Structure 1
Amino acid sequence: MKKKLLLFALLTLMVAFAFGCAGGPKWQDGTYTGVGEGLQDDITVSVSIEDGKIAAVEVVEHRESPGVSEPALEQIPEIIVENQSAEVDVVAGVTYTSDGIMQAVSDALSKAE
């Protein structure tokens, strides 16, 4: 009898935990703008949220060094969409630009909460 009661209690807790963890979407759908600090100046991004997920990240304005910053400007937005997070690894050689993009995306996502 005690084993059945213990099993029932354990199953009840597991079900309650599963439903408690199943929240709604992380972010509200829409397009949000965010700003972060790059090496040269501010970096502005546009973040599109669809079905509560990051659908697209676009760098809309920056004054980073042409050519040098291109790897971060191209790769970081793609990696953010893939990982569904603004916290990703920086691109080697363009740390400040990478960090600025991530800051800008975090700023935009804070507006989508």
Structure 2
Amino acid sequence: GSYFQNGRKVASLILFLIYDLAVSAWRVAVVVMRPKLELKPGVFLYRHKVRSEFQIALLSNLVGLTPGTLIFDISDDERTLYVHAFDCSDPDARRREISEGFERRILELSE
């Protein structure tokens, strides 16, 4: 039971990573190909819910792998990620993407 459940959760995380990489790369390509760049790069804070140092590292690395985003710092209490996004026009949408995407799947792995 639990071996196969964990296998499915890991597969879900890997498949989501592949999906997110493709969607993010497409977004970046579309923006770059436009004659007039309408970017609003910026920084937003993301207060995560993961618990262990491994989970924090995993979340940071997965978000950082996504084209157009970069984790450039973490707060002293290790609860908040500082995220630079090439398009930060809607930081709440970016936070939701992280929360409902990578973070949810990482938390499911520890259940």
Point out the structure with the larger helix share.
Answer: 2
Q: When the two structures are superposed, what TM-score results if normalisation uses the length of structure 2?
A: 0.31
Q: When the two structures are superposed, what TM-score results if normalisation uses the length of structure 1?
A: 0.31
